[in-house]
Structure 1
């Protein structure tokens, strides 16, 4: 006999746009050396990603030797972000240390900076702000770039150079949009500026947003700059202009110590600004993670409508927060053939405009006598 249902049944339909939540960007990925008294190897295991959520407490467990404790102190002066730390061994010489920092695959495990790639699977967070303060060499900076690209993270590094000329000469070695070079250093230790850049970047993300550049934001805990760099606000001449033209971000003192420079190492005009690259990263990751619900659902027009509405709602929200100038996702029939769709593949186009920093402001001055025209009337009123 056929099954008989006498009554009412309800079928739930989950359609419509879904909210897309922004990714966390104020997560630092730090590679450092540490040893000596006070080092807690359970908190900072060698060559493994360690999750730090209380930087002040972590400082007391970072050991007295190496770069880790000093880097954490510099970061803590700015804010208390989430940090992924990979501790590496200091070598017998700088070359061996650099090799340890770069890392390898040992017994099936990634070591050195490569361990940052497994942070998300091991400890549940993905670092977005990367650096190796005090350990930057050309080889280290170069090796960090593929990792940054895979993580969609941004790198802050100091080129190994003792003079302005040497720093500018080193710039052509690097051409990555995910990299900002910083020169010189703050006084204290080699790597202090990079460590404070990591902390300041996380602090800006927390206080303002990823759409504000590192430049012209007061850096806490600084006592001086270790090299002379001439600077003036009109910026037509001087060392700071030469470095920014390279482009290299420099350090200035004006109502506090600040980073001065907005640019990446990219020659692509669309990605010369740090904020454009990070906006790209945020949108890519936010949309991809926010659409996980749509993956493997029946590929129907209603699914595409819901998907497009979800993306554009997120774009509208970001525009309302002034974090982007605008963005739009749309269906392009020319790249979605019946055969492609039947194979379970769909393509959505989208475009965006990042909020550029006002790097240059021209004030057009004119001297005139027009404000003397009513001199007699003004005098008569006295």
Structure 2
């Protein structure tokens, strides 16, 4: 329609900001049979002195019970006699009508109220209210009316079974796991490195080895729900105490592929270098094999015991992310929190035949002593000359995920036109320049694919973009060539003349 005047329009052709995803989130699975349980919301009314005390409780554990309310009002007598004591529950409100005698005076006792609440249909609501007399009381005292009063004190279970839960670098939160099972000791190893973000999946402690393995595998599958339930996608996956099992190892590898994560697998106690190297051949480019186990002094028992290394290694990885960046290798960096090793591999700088070097060449990481205990090894279980480096794999994951997220939020389902093409390519190139300037990359660029973006593909809503990235490989091998130059000797000798 024509307009006599000024028409206002808005455009959205500007480049979009890309935020790098958080690569420093650990995902862990284990047991904690004495973990804190949730608390039921409750309300206690009346007086023990008057024998009319009642405790009202939510039918389910958790904070949802705090939304429930209770009120009591006097009934009205009529020509047929006094009112009966009855209860109604609707819209999270328990309403109690207190019975009266013929004169209208309240005659309902605490016991009568408990009976009335108990007579409610238990299937009336998934979350409802129960009533009970405190121990040692008979409930013969007469009740008094009271207004709407909320139940309080309900708390959710911090670590429900098979459910991702978050520990944000807090030792006090970790203690809610209880000291039994495996998770507290694992968190102790992690937090000795840094206050890491950890997605925890607790599974039941089962005596049967086969059923326990099945529970751990089910828990590993739940790690992929971290993004949808906690807004944190775990990027370093571990299951200490169980990752020596190849059934568990394969489950970790599968979930790592889905989450674009890496996973650290422990070696059995006293495993030989040959056994560990052979095992590494079963896995792919998101798996790092660790050997040996570490000697850790418990903050609970005070005893020093052999423990799997993966929890400490995961915390170490997060600390390197924090101190230097996720694009840095964690190799040749000090690891904290343990006093010794279960096995010591031979290590000599420059010696190709030492066990530590042979393990590294077989894509197995170990721990060596260079002034202090240091992680020694860069490689994942692949022979690809560049993707075998964990730091390169994680750099590619970070860049790919960050671009994918931005493109999904800002460009999917937009009209395909010149403004679309200019904006999406500009957004990605701007991000790659930022990452290069920040030291994450050696460089990168984005461009539209001229061969695949045909009239037919664009008409079908398919757009093809190419992205080239220069990640930073770690300097794993440095060769220094030496020669003798006797001219320096001649010069020194002539100075004496």
TM-score, length of structure 2 as denominator length: 0.71
Q: Which range is displaced more, 370-379 or 165-174?
A: 370-379
Higher helix share: 1
Gaps of 5+ in 1: 104-111
Q: Is 1:317–2:430 an aligned residue pair?
A: no
* 2:448 maps to 1:331: yes
Counterpart for residue 64 of structure 1 = 179
Residue 32 of structure 2 aligns to a residue in which SS? strand
**1:169: Cα distance to partner?**
2.3
Q: How does 1:177-188 map to 2 (within 5 A)?
A: 177-188=285-296
Matched positions, count? 368
- Aligned pair partner of 1:343 in 460, 464, 467: 460
In structure 2, distance between residues paired with 1:366 and 1:355: 31
Q: State the secondary structure of the residue aligned to 2:295.
A: coil
Matched, 1:255 2:371: yes
- The answer to whether the Cα contact below 8 Å between 2:238 and 2:264 also exists between their aligned partners in 1 is yes
| TM-score where L is the length of structure 1 | 0.92
Corresponding residue SS for 1:25: coil
Which secondary structure does the structure 2 equivalent of 1:249 belong to?
strand
Residue in 2 that maps onto 1:106: none
For the 8 Å contact 1:47–1:88, the answer to whether it is kept is yes
Distance 1:260 1:194 in 2: 14
Worse overlay, 51-60 or 310-319: 51-60
Q: State which of 236, 246, 261 in structure 2 corresponds to 1:138.
A: 246
- 2:201 is paired with a residue whose SS is strand
Per-residue CA shift, 1:97-117, capped at 9, x if unaligned?
A: 2111001xxxxxxxx111111
Q: What SS does the aligned partner of 1:303 have? A: helix
- 1:22-60 Cα offsets, whole Å, 9 max, x none, are 111111111111123x64561111110001114312221
Q: CA RMSD in A?
A: 1.8
Residue 379 of structure 1 is matched in structure 2 by 496
Match of 1:149 among 229, 253, 257: 257
Aligned 1:119-130 pairs, distance under 5 A: 119-130=226-237
Unaligned ranges ≥5, structure 2: 39-156, 297-304
Could you tell me which residue of structure 1 aligns to residue 395 of structure 2?
A: 279
Q: 1:144–1:190: structure 2 CA closer, same or farther, 3 Å change rule?
A: farther
Query: What secondary structure, in the 3-state scheme, does the structure 2 residue paired with 1:341 have?
Result: helix
Kept in 1: contact 2:221–2:251 (CA 8 A):
no
For residues 94-137 of structure 1, give each alpha carbon's deviation from its aligned partner in whole angstroms, at most 9, with x where no partner exists. 3322111001xxxxxxxx11111111111221111111112211
Counterpart position of 1:31: 29
- Per-residue deviation, 1:293: 0.8
Q: Work out the CA distance in 1 between the residues paired with 2:324 and 2:37.
A: 34
Matched, 1:51 2:163: no
Partners of 2:367 and 2:396 lie apart in 1 by: 26
Residue 203 of structure 1 and its aligned partner are, at CA, apart by 1.1
Q: For 1:160 and 1:301, how far apart are their aligned partners in 2?
A: 58
Q: What is the aligned partner in structure 2 of residue 228 from structure 1? A: 344
User: In structure 2, the residue corresponding to 1:187 is in which secondary structure?
Assistant: strand
Residue 368 of structure 1 and its aligned partner are, at CA, apart by: 3.3
Cα distance in 2 for partners of 1:213, 1:12 equals 46
Aligned to 1:169: 278
Measure the CA separation in 2 of the matches of 1:356 and 1:119: 29
The CA distance in 1 between the partners of 2:178 and 2:381, in whole Å, is 34
Match of residue 95 from structure 1 = 210
Cα distance in 2 for residues equivalent to 1:320 and 1:69: 40
Contact persistence 2:256–2:262 (CA under 8 A): yes
Contact 2:448-2:465 within 8 A present in 1 as well = yes
CA shift, 1:82, in A, is 1.2
Q: Which moved more, 1:351-360 or 1:267-276?
A: 267-276
TM-aligned CA deviation for residue 294 of structure 1: 1.2
CA distance in 2, matches of 1:319, 1:289: 19
1:377 deviation in Å?
4.7
Distance 1:134 1:359, change over 3 A: same
- Any conservation in 2 of the 1:84–1:127 contact (CA below 8 Å)? yes
CA distance in 2, matches of 1:183, 1:235: 19
